[in-house]
Amino acid sequence: MTTFTQSSLRQPARRPGLVAGLLHLFAVRRSRHTLAALDDNALKDIGLSRSDVAQEVNRPFWDAPQSWKS
């Protein structure tokens, strides 16, 4: 019979890799498209103007704010 110890059940440390990076880029793109789809009332609620949204949507997909990188 095999016995598992606490140390043998630990998951290996996850490091950001290619897949994680690609998923992040797709998430940035999706977030920007969602932002662009908001109506004027929703934008007013979050304190953004159409020009703010246009500026964000027109950024390259790899150019995400530091606060989005976690």
Could you give the CA distance from residue 9 to residue 55 in angstroms, rounded to a whole number? 47
Chain centre distance of CA 13 = 21
Tens digits of per-residue pLDDT, 5-56? 555 455 555 556 888 888 888 889 999 999 999 999 999 999 999 999 999 9
- pTM, rounded to two decimals: 0.64
Domain map (residue ranges) of the chain: 16-68
Yes or no: say if 24 and 69 are a contact pair by the CB < 8 Å rule.
Answer: yes
Tokens representing residue 38 in the block: 């908001």
